[in-house]
Amino acid sequence: MEINLLQSLIDHSYEYASDLLNDTGEFYPFAAFTDKAGQVHPLEFEVDKNNIPPNSKVLEALAAWCTGEFAKNEITGYALVFEASVTLEEGKAPIDTICMDIATVDQENIPLYYFPYEVKKDGTVDYDDAFAVLRESD
């Protein structure tokens, strides 16, 4: 049975992000990675509750660890997961999304995945259809 690294990372990351949103109405950057057996593991940046860094610093630290381990072939894939505001139509308000930046050893040119959501006034979260955006070629 072949393990689909991309789908495993998406499933794990979406489930974790939606759990955070459903429980708290927000989420912070995190990552997930796959080991050589194809199992997914969560990866969070430990922070001092008295000195919480900006999300950009957390994402930078997660990206540095993931890209470093991936380059050394210590992990077979990773997903960097963070909130992104996306404008879909000119003149329309941006929407909040769960964004996933994913790399795996078995696929190249993986698009960025976006999962739109809206936190309602009553604290419930509505999710919309996911979409992907191809990366620009160098």
Residue 107: inside a domain: yes
Residue 108: inside a domain: yes
What is the total count of domains within the chain?
1
- Please give the full DSSP string across 11-50, using - where no structure is assigned: HHHHHHHHHHHHHHS----EEEEE-TT--EEEE----BTT
Output phi, psi for 65, to 5 deg.
-65, -50
Asked whether the beta carbons of 77 and 9 are under 8 A apart, the reply is yes
Asked whether the beta carbons of 6 and 102 are under 8 A apart, the reply is yes
Q: What confidence tens digit (pLDDT) does each residue in 17-41 have?
A: 999 999 988 888 999 999 999 899 9
What residues contact 69, with CB distance under 8 A and at least 6 apart? 33, 75, 78
Q: What confidence tens digit (pLDDT) does each residue in 97-135 have?
A: 999 999 999 998 999 999 999 999 998 999 999 999 998
Residue 138: inside a domain: no
**Cα torsion 63, 65, 66, 71: sign:** positive
Task: Give the angle 104-109-112 at the CA atoms, nearest 5°.
Answer: 85
Residue 25: inside a domain: yes
Residue 102: inside a domain: yes
Residue 122: inside a domain: yes
**At 138, is the pLDDT very low, low, confident or very high (cuts 50, 70, 90)?**
low
Residue 59: inside a domain: yes
Query: Residue 46's domain spans which residues?
Result: 5-133
pLDDT at 3: 63
Q: Kind and range of the H or E element at 109? A: none
pLDDT at 1: 35
